[in-house]
């Protein structure tokens, strides 16, 4: 069964976000006065997935594979080249900026860099209360009181609400960024690598905070990261992305125990296991070569240039197919006798 057919059958479930054939291409131009397009960067090149209300969907992959661009395109910070982004059934890609405004309040983002994402000239109170004022949620002194309340919600001292960002540590700044995202009272939050710029000792605290806030406010997350251990900790399901394409989607534990795509198998083999005896016996899968340029991606399977199981049919593009219940993979190994050993079938 194809991903599209399975998703169509699943639409009776409580799906908050339904992404269909999403593409985002960035033009490459030459010339100073008369610029002409000489190529395109295929940052996101036809991805389809769903995010159910109240769940966390992890999105993982190597740097440059299109994860952050996907998140920004869902929020319409980048307008898609093609495809649909259905938010509660409404296609955001077809709306004007004016029509998007009331919906934007319900979709927020936590950025990767807590140092660059906060305005150094604004107090924490002004930063957190900006969405409240923008959307007219509160007025007068209650705005400052709400900012102080959100400081406490994310684990900060509300009496520090008049301080500036440079007076806080990196972990505290990220908490401020989380409070700002909560200020608009959203339903859906894109977490764009929110822990990658933080010390390891702080990362677990932020992950636990996000999990607690999800339960408290009924939030839905798209959690973008390249740290598979962190994604496993917080995600209900995980989507694996490679060179602008999603190559596998599955339940978090299922993906780690039985990865079906060779790229996913290689990623998981690189995650260290905190057991010296098990770590010493397992085999690491080392990928050869570099990731191809998104300006000129390979025809057919995007992963074929680095895959040790490559065979003739890989020159055709594989689609995400249901390999078992709620587990999708885009690989011809799942459909041929040549792939039985590699796919675990």
> Which domains does the chain carry?
3-29+38-106+186-298+314-343 (3.40.50.300)
Each residue's pLDDT, cut to its tens digit, for the chain (345 residues) gives: 555 555 554 444 699 999 999 999 999 988 877 788 889 999 999 999 999 999 999 999 998 899 999 999 999 999 999 999 999 999 999 999 999 998 999 999 999 988 899 999 999 999 999 999 999 999 989 999 999 999 999 999 999 999 999 999 999 999 999 999 999 999 999 999 999 988 888 999 999 999 999 999 999 999 999 888 889 999 999 999 999 999 999 999 999 999 999 999 999 988 777 667 665 667 778 788 888 999 999 999 999 999 999 999 999 999 999 999 999 999 998 764 444 433 333
Q: What letter would DSSP give residue 2?
A: B
Sign of CA dihedral 4, 5, 7, 12: positive
Burial-class residue 270 by CB neighbours within 10 Å (0-12, 13-18, 19+).
exposed
For residue 327, CA distances in Å to 164, 211, 214, 332 come to: 46, 24, 24, 15
What confidence score (pLDDT) does residue 340 get? 40
> Which residue, chain included where needed, has tokens 């995202």?
181
Of the candidates 227, 343, 245, 248, which has an alpha carbon nearest to the alpha carbon of residue 237?
A: 248
Q: Please return the burial class of 193, using the count of CB atoms within 10 Å of its CB with bins 0-12, 13-18 and 19+.
A: buried
Give the pLDDT confidence of 130-163 residue by residue, as tens digits: 999 999 999 989 999 999 999 999 999 999 999 9
Residue 158, C-beta contacts closer than 8 angstroms, at least 6 positions apart: 148, 149, 151, 152
Tell me what pLDDT residue 285 has. Answer: 81
Give tens-digit pLDDT for 18-71: 999 999 999 998 887 778 888 999 999 999 999 999 999 999 999 889 999 999
Largest CA distance in the chain: 69
Instruction: Specify the pLDDT at position 13.
Output: 62
């Amino acid at each position: 069964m194809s991903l599209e057919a399975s998703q169509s059958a699943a639409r009776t479930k409580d799906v908050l976000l339904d992404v269909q054939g999403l593409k985002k291409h960035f033009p490459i131009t030459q010339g100073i006065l008369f610029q002409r397009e000489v190529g395109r960067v295929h940052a996101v090149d036809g991805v389809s997935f769903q995010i159910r209300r109240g769940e966390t969907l992890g999105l993982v992959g190597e740097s440059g594979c299109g994860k952050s661009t996907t998140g920004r395109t869902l929020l319409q910070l980048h307008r898609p080249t093609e495809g649909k982004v259905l938010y509660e059934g409404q296609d955001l890609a077809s709306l004007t900026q004016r029509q998007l405004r009331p919906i934007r309040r319900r979709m927020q983002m936590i950025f990767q860099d807590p140092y660059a994402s906060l305005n150094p000239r604004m107090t924490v109170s002004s930063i957190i209360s900006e969405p409240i004022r923008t959307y007219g949620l509160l007025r007068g002194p209650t705005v400052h009181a709400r900012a102080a309340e959100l400081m406490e919600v994310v684990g900060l001292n509300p009496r520090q609400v008049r301080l500036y960002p440079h007076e806080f540590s990196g972990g505290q700044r990220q908490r401020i960024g989380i409070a700002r995202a909560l200020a608009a009272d959203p339903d859906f939050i894109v977490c764009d690598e929110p822990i990658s710029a933080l010390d390891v000792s702080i990362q677990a605290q932020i992950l636990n905070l996000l999990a607690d806030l999800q339960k408290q406010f009924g939030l839905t997350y798209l959690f973008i990261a390249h740290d598979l251990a962190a994604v496993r900790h917080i995600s209900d399901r995980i989507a694996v992305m490679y060179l602008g394409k999603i190559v596998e989607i599955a339940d978090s534990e299922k993906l780690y125990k039985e990865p079906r795509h060779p790229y996913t198998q290689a990623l998981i083999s690189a995650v260290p296991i905190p057991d010296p005896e098990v770590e010493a016996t397992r085999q690491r899968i080392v990928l050869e070569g570099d990731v191809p340029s998104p300006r000129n991606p390979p025809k057919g399977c995007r992963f074929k240039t680095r895959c040790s199981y490559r065979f003739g049919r890989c020159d055709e593009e594989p689609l995400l197919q249901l390999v078992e219940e709620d587990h999708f993979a885009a690989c011809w190994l799942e459909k041929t006798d040549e792939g039985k050993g590699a796919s675990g079938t």
